[in-house]
């Protein structure tokens, strides 16, 4: 059974600048390499879902420019339904500048552009993609109002909603009320609950805090350590696969997209889906770039042997 996944989110052209180390304030550094590729949290998650075997649709916005055409074509290359991508006549396509050091750590500067103009209008136009999905995914590089509209529509049609609260931001409480599964990293989780992630007890406390906000299911990704999950029936911590990271860009996005491709709508297989997602992101961090580094289902299965 192939999962149908609809992603509402951002489309950015990523420019990666490779440097020895991060610059100090006021310091000028030479870059060792410069490359551009398709990216954006939403686009990365959609590509990860599609490459991991899900039937994927996208809702978003690009500018009337060559970057926008490039982004739509990039998604089409992965057989993603792009009918839900609108064109903004006045604002350019989103972009991101990524500083990447020798340790594989990154700092990212994002220009929202047309991503910031995604509205209820785009969501309503893509109603069919939402109603017929198994999962609808949203993040915070597009406005929360659009995510709220999409999640409400999803819930009315029995579709499971997954929220990736990144970049960290204040969340509209109404959005949490229509979120089935929230997937923050440890920093985002701490900023939303006020509970610092230090051990199992703090993760369990975080799950209870999210439940009070209206979200019954939680996955917290903890970088190279692994991921914690909590549902109504179980909770556990699953260690990450040990690999040498060269570029952590899109690791979290790969995790969420790959997870959605395997997860059952009742979340009964969350533990095995989570291991599959971790395997996918462990491949991503061993390669350069955002979208180009995301593995296919064949690569994930081969690495699992």
pLDDT, one tens digit per residue, over 6-32 is 999 999 998 989 999 999 999 999 999
Verify whether residue 253 is a known catalytic residue: yes
C-beta separation of 241 from 282 below 8 A: yes
188: left (phi over 0), alpha (psi -120 to 50) or beta: alpha
pLDDT, one tens digit per residue, over 167-213 is 888 999 999 999 999 999 999 999 999 999 999 999 999 999 999 99
Task: Answer whether residue 65 shows pLDDT above 80.
Answer: yes
pLDDT recorded at residue 224: 86
Residue, of 246 and 148, whose pLDDT is higher: 148
Percent of the chain with pLDDT over 90: 88
**Angstrom distance (rounded) from CA 53 to CA 238:** 23
∠ CA 55-3-216, rounded to 5° = 130
- Which residues contribute to the annotated binding site for K(+)? 247, 249, 284, 287, 289, 293
**Angstrom distance (rounded) from CA 40 to CA 37:** 10
Considering the chain, what is the average pLDDT of its residues? Answer: 95
Pairing of strands 235-239, 226-230: antiparallel
- Which residues contribute to the annotated binding site for substrate? 12-14, 40-44, 141, 253
User: CA 160, 202, 106, 278: dihedral to nearest 10 degrees?
Assistant: -50
- Which residues contribute to the annotated binding site? 12-14, 40-44, 141, 185, 221-226, 247, 249, 252-253, 284, 287, 289, 293
Domains assigned to the chain:
4-9+41-66+78-83+116-303 (3.40.1190.20)
pLDDT recorded at residue 247: 83
46 exposure class (CB count in 10 Å sphere: 0-12, 13-18, 19+): buried
Cis omega (within 30 of 0) on the bond before 167? yes
Q: Give the pLDDT band (50/70/90) at residue 50.
A: very high
Q: Give the pLDDT band (50/70/90) at residue 51.
A: very high
- Which residues contribute to the annotated binding site for ATP? 185, 221-226, 252-253
**Angstrom distance (rounded) from CA 91 to CA 296:** 33
Give me the catalytic one of 78, 88, 180, 253. 253
| Statement: the pTM of the whole predicted model exceeds 0.85 | yes
């Amino acid at each position: 059974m192939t999962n149908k996944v609809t992603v509402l989110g951002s489309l950015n052209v990523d420019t990666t600048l490779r440097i020895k180390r991060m610059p100090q304030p006021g310091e000028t550094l030479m870059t060792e390499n410069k490359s551009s590729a398709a990216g954006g949290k939403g686009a990365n998650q959609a590509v990860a879902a599609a490459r991991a075997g899900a039937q994927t649709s996208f809702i978003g916005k690009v500018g009337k420019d060559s970057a926008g055409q490039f982004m739509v074509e990039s998604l089409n290359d992965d057989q993603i339904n792009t009918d839900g991508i609108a064109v903004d006549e006045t604002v350019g396509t989103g972009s991101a500048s990524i500083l990447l050091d020798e340790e594989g750590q990154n700092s990212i500067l994002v220009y929202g552009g047309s991503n910031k103009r995604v509205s209820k209008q785009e969501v309503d136009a893509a109603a069919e993609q939402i109603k017929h999905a198994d999962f609808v995914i949203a993040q915070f590089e597009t406005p929360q109002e659009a995510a709220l509209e999409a999640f409400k529509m999803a819930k009315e049609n029995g579709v499971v909603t997954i929220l990736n609260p990144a970049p960290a931001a204040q969340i509209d409480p109404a959005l949490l009320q229509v979120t089935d599964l929230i997937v923050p990293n440890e920093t985002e989780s701490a900023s939303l609950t006020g509970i610092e992630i230090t051990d199992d007890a703090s993760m369990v406390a975080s799950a209870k805090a999210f439940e009070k906000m209206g979200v019954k299911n939680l996955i917290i990704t903890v970088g190279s350590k692994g991921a914690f999950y909590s549902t109504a029936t179980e909770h556990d911590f699953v260690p990450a696969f040990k690999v040498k990271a060269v570029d952590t860009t899109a690791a979290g996005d790969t995790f969420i997209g790959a997870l959605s491709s395997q997860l059952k709508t009742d979340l009964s297989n969350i533990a095995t889906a989570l291991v599959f997602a971790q395997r996918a992101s462990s491949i991503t961090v061993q390669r350069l770039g955002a979208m180009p580094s995301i593995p296919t289902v064949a690569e994930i299965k081969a690495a699992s042997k």
